Amino acid sequence: MTDKQITSYPKEKINILLLENISDTAVKFFKDNGYTSVKKITGALSEEDLIREVKDVHLLGIRSKTQITPRVLDAAKKLQAIGCFCIGVNQVDLKYAKQQGVAVFNAPYSNTRSVAELVIGLSILLIRRIVDKNKAAHEGIWLKDAKGSYEMRGKTLGIVGYGNIGTQVSVLAEALGMQVIFYDTITKLPLGNAVAKKSLKDLVSQADIITLHVPETNSTKNLINKNVIKNFKKGSILINYARGEVVDLEALAKALQEGQMSGAAVDVYPWEPEKNGDKFTTPLQGLPNVILTPHIGGSTEEAQQNIGEDVSNKLFQYLEMGVSIGSHTVPPLSLPPQEGAHRILHVHRNVPGVLSAINTTLANNKINILGQYLKTNDEIGYVVLDLDRKISNTAVNLLKEVKDTIKVRLLY
């Protein structure tokens, strides 16, 4: 097998669609690897527009705005994989994608440093009340005053969600001389001198600054509500650079207006505009010592480049070698290419007897299996077969007829 002949399907006929202004790093990656049919669109698409665009697409790249619904997946008959060029995958109907045998990848670590640095920066601005002083200076008012301004050193930072971002924030905060406490529903090993708290109430009642780094799930919706805010330390600060549904913004606004809290920084909202320039409203607008940003927590040049490289490489590895490590839908398999063989990928419903049917079908047609790998999850099974080159096309047609088959692809 030569480098020029990796896939059985001509590279120029593989259609790649990238939405939401995904980094040009991704475009360059695919073109450098011989894929010439790469289309990039600046914004997100509505469901109807996406259904029209995705008809002949093999690889689809999105960020957080594009919604991948069952209707979209039904329309994408040639779709092999979706790359979410961001941290989350909640914009994709994962259950339906799994049933369709579509691999879904993301970049869970690539922008963690960008978010962590910004959280520390926001903490300094808020605890020093720089927001109010900046506003006054722009309005021509000289507001030289130390009242209500504090150092970070010696203060307590409370981290809700001690994962990839939370742990990096923890390390940076300790470097500034802060005491770090954290709360997570899963037992986590503390870094440095960080201390785990047994409950959210314990954390918010002790922290001067609370920063949220949790996913959007049913259990985290309105995690920070009026009842929880009542337990906040008076004069504390809240930072939400996690997910929009995690905080009850009306309750937060009331706490800020009444002086229960002294400041907040919010980057994500229950509702967000579709594109730049659209009107945006939130109950937090106009409140003192509040920083509002338009979902840019991980938006740095470095993060976008890292995400572009990470997700593109995962899509490429799946397309050319069948490697599914990091997929949220297709069971994880990683294996080297086999010389002197053709590789076939078989995705099927995870029911008893499919592997036996595959082997029986091939054996009955005197097709020799040189290598075989199987991995399953709750919904589907993923088999990689290395077969004799002479009869690989026959094998593909036979495997398509195996009961409970979802997808069959001749890789090379």
Q: Which amino acid is at 133?
A: K
Q: What would the two tokens of residue 183 be? A: 């709360």
Q: What is the pLDDT of residue 1?
A: 43
**Distance from C-alpha of 380 to C-alpha of 35, rounded to nearest angstrom:** 29
Spot the catalytic one: 174, 272, 320, 379: 272
404 conformational bin, left if phi > 0, alpha if psi -120 to 50, beta if neither: left
Q: What is the pLDDT of residues 58-111, one digit of tens each?
A: 999 999 889 999 999 999 999 999 999 998 898 999 999 999 999 999 998 899
Q: Is the pLDDT of residue 347 over 80?
A: yes
Q: Is the pLDDT of residue 151 over 60?
A: yes
Spot the catalytic one: 174, 245, 295, 309: 295
pLDDT bracket for residue 4 (50, 70, 90): very low
Look at the block and give the residue holding tokens 């406490």: 181
For the chain, percent of residues with pLDDT exceeding 70: 98
Task: Please give the DSSP secondary-structure letter assigned to residue 154.
Answer: T
Structural class in CATH, domain 1-106+300-330: alpha beta
Q: Average pLDDT for residues 374-396, to the nearest whole number?
A: 88
Look at the block and give the residue holding tokens 């009955």: 364
- Residues in contact with 178: Cβ distance below 8 Å, sequence separation at least 6, in sequence order: 152, 153, 154, 155, 156, 157
Sign of CA dihedral 293, 295, 297, 303: negative
Write down the mean pLDDT value for the chain. Answer: 94
Contact assessment for residue 22 and residue 59, using Cβ atoms and an 8 Å cutoff = no
Spot the catalytic one: 58, 113, 128, 243: 243
* Domain at 331-411, CATH homologous superfamily: ACT domain (3.30.70.260)
Q: Is the pLDDT of residue 2 over 80?
A: no
CATH topology of domain 112-292: Rossmann fold (3.40.50)
1-106+300-330 and 331-411 agree in CATH topology: no
**Distance from C-alpha of 31 to C-alpha of 34, rounded to nearest angstrom:** 5
pLDDT bracket for residue 337 (50, 70, 90): confident
Residue ranges of domains in the chain: 1-106+300-330, 112-292, 331-411
Q: What would the two tokens of residue 257 be? A: 């207006």
Q: Is the pLDDT of residue 291 over 80?
A: yes
286 conformational bin, left if phi > 0, alpha if psi -120 to 50, beta if neither: left
Catalytic-residue membership of 295: yes
Q: What is the pLDDT of residues 36-70, one digit of tens each?
A: 999 999 989 999 999 999 999 999 999 988 999 99
**Distance from C-alpha of 218 to C-alpha of 353, rounded to nearest angstrom:** 36
**Distance from C-alpha of 75 to C-alpha of 55, rounded to nearest angstrom:** 6
User: Mind giving me the DSSP string for 381-403?
Assistant: EEEEEEEEGGGHHHHHHHHHTST
